[in-house]
Amino acid sequence: MAEQVQFTKLCLSIVVVIYALITCTSAADTISANQTIKDGETIVSPQQTFELGFFSPKNSTKRFVGIWYKRISPGTVIWVANRNTPLTTTSGELSLTLDGILVIRNATGGVIWASANSSAPPVKKPVSQLLETGNLVVREETGGNPENPVWQSFDFPTDTFVPGMKFGTDFVTGRETHFTSWKADGDPSSGEFTVWIDTQGYPQLIVRDGSDVKFRGGPWNGERFSGEPKLRPDSVYTFGFILNQREINYHFDLVNNAAITRVTIQPTGDFERLLWIETRKQWLLYQTPQTDNCDRYKLCGAFGSCNINNSPACGCLKGFEPTAPDQWNVADWSQGCRRSTPLDCGPEEGFIKYSGIKLPDTQKSWFNQTMNLDECEVVCKRNCSCTAYATQNVTAGGSGCLLWFGELVDIKTFAENGQDLYIRMPASELAAKGKSSGVKKLKIILPVISVLSVILASVYIFYRFKKRKSMQKGALEEDNEYHAGNESSNKDDLELPLIDFSVLRKATANFSDYNKLGEGGFGPVYKGVMEDGQEVAVKRLSRTSTQGLDEFKNEVITISKLQHRNLVRLLWCSIKGAEKMLVYEYMPNKSLDSFIFDENRSNALDWPTRFHIINGIAKGLLYLHQDSRLRIIHRDLKVSNILLDHDMNPKISDFGMARSFGGNQIEANTNRVVGTYGYMAPEYAADGLFSIKSDVFSFGVLVLEIVTGKRNRGFYHKEHSNNLIGHAWGLHKDGKSLELVAASLSESINLPEVLRSIHVGLLCVQQRPEDRPNMSSVVLMFGSEGELSPPKPPGFFYEKTITDNTSSSTFEMRSTNELTITMLSAR
């Protein structure tokens, strides 16, 4: 009998323990009324994604109540309750009152923080729950809907925006949701920067620095914020915007719940979309709306427009002129522009269309969601104060009307996804024919101006021709030996833009070492300053250079006929006896390899800059292959032959090995293989066959080097003997391409652009030339979001032996078809 009693007691004890465990587990994500959470205790969301409790930021002893990621990144806090009233000890407590209010008390029992009062009905039996979204809610314990709580932390965000949040204004409750940065990395108190949906005029996204606007994302246009051309739904998340009489809000939701992403306003004021990369155990920058200097609010002042590809970046809109020319000329554009001809509200006034821009600040605007564009123009023209108009919603062919009044500020030019803006102009500025008497007068004046222009241009050309002939005469007289050749040689010489040797000697201070910029394969390069102050780069070919006279003439004649923003511009050449010199435009940032392969300088090239460089090189190469008068094969494309101007725009240089084709010719064969090991295509290195596709191969190598910051030649990995191409191919096959990205890019990475760049790079280095894309396809790939075909195995991805000596380098390489060749490096 006693044994039965003991057994019964044991069973009851087990039941009690099981019940306690079940109760504890079910309550792991909740706080009941009058329940207390002490410092050191936490509650966890149902699937353990988020955790709530007390914490101290790094390098701080102050205590806060916050919510953070539990499993993936414990140090990443998404919400702080008492951010401006920290605890100084670990004796704090968090509890839920019977009235449904969360409170934080200090060691003396004083309340230092309480959840805001709600207009919702009183809660009979409240409970607070941490949801899997990271939202802390207060609701009825029985029958309460977590999706419709009486209070929620999502209504009072700190610095972070996560999926499921609404960001904007609720006109029913009067609540405006915005984000405020931490004061510093270790201080969650309210910082200087805030993110708002500004509802003065038509709603637009802005980032404020205190009371001043730092950045403006622009108005919502039905697809995106006007100032964020790269904002688009993708495989990670989708987004939307609600605009009605009850609310205005922006929200985003995950497409794939396995992805983890957040949007944060940093203490520095940077507004960033971040994605968690599990393989790296770190957050990577997925997207940021602030991409360049033109994103500075009102940089160009009233009626000014900013284009980062121009120099200077700011310019006045057509029909406007600088308000303060002296300031404008020294890059102080704050005074903006004024109309060249004032408006008089006459019936002959009309509108000029501007395309591809970020719409102006909408604080002084009016909108109607039902009008069409024609009705919009009529309404604007009737109101003399109306400055401009545009389509309010660009989706489905466009609808709605958006009007501006007063000055137009913060306009930016975009290469893609810009919008049309129609600006009011006086009759004299209108481009349309026959709309006013002012246009009729222009019809009379323009022919006269045209005739005068032709006369002046003829005089100018004649003057320049005489001057050039004089310079040629001086240069040729110093080089009788060179001009002892045949008649055809002399005919070619007439195409050379010659300059006198003495001019270059003076410009370079007699080729002093102080002015020496570097040493190339064909000789030293010097910086020179011409008499008019123009800076130049003088390439002085050494007497032992492998570039002969024919190659020299080839480079001069070839490049002097090329005109493209991504090709270096040849200004002159000089020939005096054995001395041969080329004079180029000066590139202050030198060559690309001096950045990406240098540990210190590589940090200056963030991802947006690198992607800009990749696109620029692609467009320059497309011009050579397709758009120039002759089809030109460069044959020596590599990072050291990519020069960077003041604005980090890339310029393809060194055309000594280039070959030009006419007609439909696309390939040729040579017995003399020239170029640089690591960039040469297999068919060129092995058989001397070169084509536009051999340049594409070099471009693919170059792309992989820019993304990784590593050289293809001499790449080392402890687990295999592949070069950089082979390493990239292996990681791509395993779905681990992100491991290629240079560590210095972790804070600026745009994930879709990086992955697309690696993919395109591998398509370019495929073994068979016919499998590689042409450059027109490459440019389209970078500018679109279409699905890419899977790459086939690359050529030359296994490096078997490397033997270096002082005079040359011998390499044994194997490509994917097991072809083994041994060759001397050409450079």
The CATH architecture one would assign to domain 593-824 is: Orthogonal Bundle (1.10)
Judge whether residue 195 has pLDDT over 50: yes
Collapse the DSSP code of 528 into the 3-class scheme (helix H, G, I; strand E, B; otherwise coil) and give the result.
Answer: strand
Task: Measure the CA–CA gap between 62 and 592, rounded to whole angstroms.
Answer: 47
Helices (H), 184-330: 325-329
CB–CB of 15/8 below 8 Å? no
Higher pLDDT, 484 or 374: 374
Sole residue written with tokens 């919702």:
120
pLDDT digit string, tens, across residues 31-70: 999 899 999 999 999 999 999 999 999 889 999 999 999 9
pLDDT class for 484, splitting at 50, 70, 90? very low
**Model pLDDT, residue 2:** 53
pLDDT > 90 in the chain, percent: 47
The whole-number average pLDDT for the span 205-221 is: 94
CB 656, CB 674: distance < 8 Å:
no
CA proximity to 215, closest of 306, 132, 147, 109? 306
- Lowest mean pLDDT, pick from 75-84, 109-118, 239-248, 491-500: 491-500
Distance separating alpha carbons of residues 162 and 154, to the nearest angstrom? 9
**Quick one: pLDDT band at residue 297, thresholds 50, 70, 90?**
very high
Place of tokens 């492998």: 546
Position 475 scores a pLDDT of 41
Q: Is beta strand 399-405 parallel, antiparallel or unpaired with respect to 386-393?
A: antiparallel
pLDDT for the residue 292? 83
CA distances from 683 to 39, 674, 825 (A): 69, 13, 16
Domain segments of the chain as ranges:
27-156, 157-291, 294-432, 478-585, 593-824
One DSSP character per residue, 366-430 reads EEESS--HHHHHHHHHH-TTEEEEEEEE-GGG-EEEEEEES----EEE-SSS-EEEEEEE-GGG-
Instruction: Give the CA distances from residue 477 to residues 18, 472, 562, 574, 581, in Å, rounded to whole numbers and listed in that order.
Output: 105, 8, 28, 12, 16
DSSP β-bridge partners for residue 287: 273
Structure tokens at 492: 């070619």
**Six token digits for residue 300:** 């160009």
Structural tokens at position 22: 């079940």
Residue 17 has pLDDT above 60, yes or no: no
Q: Is the pLDDT of residue 372 over 50?
A: yes
User: Is 636 a residue of the active site?
Assistant: yes
Please determine, for residue 817, whether its predicted confidence score (pLDDT) is greater than 50.
Answer: no
Q: Is 648 left (phi over 0), alpha (psi -120 to 50) or beta?
A: left
SS3 label, residue 49: coil
- Virtual torsion, Cα 186, 192, 198, 200, nearest 10 deg: 160
Token duo for residue 810? 């011998």
Asked if 754 contacts 707 with a C-beta cutoff of 8 angstroms, the reply is yes
CA proximity to 246, closest of 341, 169, 148, 142 = 169
Strand, helix or coil for residue 17: helix
Model confidence pLDDT, tens digit, residues 574-586: 888 778 888 989 9
- As a whole number of angstroms, the distance between CA 537 and CA 227 comes to 38
| Residue 233 clears pLDDT 50, i.e. is over it | yes
Q: How many CB atoms lie within 10 A of CB 303?
A: 23
Amino acid at 477: E
User: How far is 46 from 30, CA to CA, in rounded Å?
Assistant: 10
231 CB neighbour count, 10 Å cutoff? 19
Q: Span 157-291: which CATH code?
A: 2.90.10
- Token readout for 624 is 């050579």
The rounded distance, in Å, linking the Cα atoms of 585 and 528 is 10
Rounded Cα distance, 307 and 150, in Å: 48
What pLDDT score was predicted for residue 542?
67
Helix, strand, coil percentages for the chain (3-state, nearest 5): 25, 30, 40
- Range name among 156-160, 271-275, 504-508, 573-577 with the lowest pLDDT average: 573-577
- Report CA dihedral (593, 594, 595, 599) to the nearest 10 degrees: 110
**Rounded Cα gap, residues 336 and 275, in angstroms:** 39
* pLDDT grade for 465, boundaries at 50, 70 and 90: low
Mean pLDDT for all residues in the chain: 82
Categorize the per-residue pLDDT at 144 as very low, low, confident or very high, splitting at 50, 70 and 90.
low
Confidence of residue 816 (pLDDT cuts 50, 70, 90): very low
Alpha-carbon Rg for the chain in angstroms: 34
Between CA 536 and CA 559 the distance in angstroms is: 16
Residues 229-253, mean pLDDT to the nearest whole number: 86
The predicted model gives 725-729 an average pLDDT of 92
Question: How does pLDDT run across 94-133, given as a tens digit for each residue?
Answer: 999 998 999 999 999 999 999 975 555 667 889 999 999 9
Count Cβ atoms below 10 Å from residue 804 Cβ, excluding itself: 10
Domain 478-585, classified CATH 3.30.200.20, yes or no: yes
Higher pLDDT, 671 or 274: 274
Of 604, 493, 505, 593, the residue nearest 553 (C-alpha): 493
Sheet with 809-814: strands ordered across: 798-804, 809-814, 820-824
574 by DSSP, 3-state: which? Answer: strand
Asked, colleague to colleague, whether 27-156 and 157-291 share their fold, the answer is yes
* CA separation for the pair 735, 598 (Å, rounded): 28
How many C-beta atoms lie closer than 10 Å to residue 662's C-beta?
Answer: 8
Residues 166 and 133: their CA atoms lie apart, in Å, by 13
Residue 426, exposed/middle/buried by CB under 10 A (0-12, 13-18, 19+)? buried
Instruction: Decide if pLDDT at 93 tops 70.
Output: yes
297 DSSP assignment:
T
Q: Is-cis flag, bond preceding 126, omega within 30?
A: no
8 A C-beta contact, residue 653 and residue 562: no
Please compute the mean of the pLDDT values over residues 669-675 and round it to a whole number.
59
pLDDT for position 521: 60
Q: For residues 155 and 179, what is the distance between their CA atoms, to the nearest angstrom?
A: 10
CATH 2.90.10.10 applies to domain 27-156: yes
Q: Which helix (H) or strand (E) holds 552?
A: helix 549-560
pLDDT above 70: percentage of residues in the chain: 80
Token pair, residue 384, equals 């003399």
Q: What is the pLDDT of residue 576?
A: 80
Q: What is the DSSP string of 594-618?
A: HHHT-TTGGGG--HHHHHHHHHHHH
The active-site residue, picked from 198, 270, 410, 636, is: 636
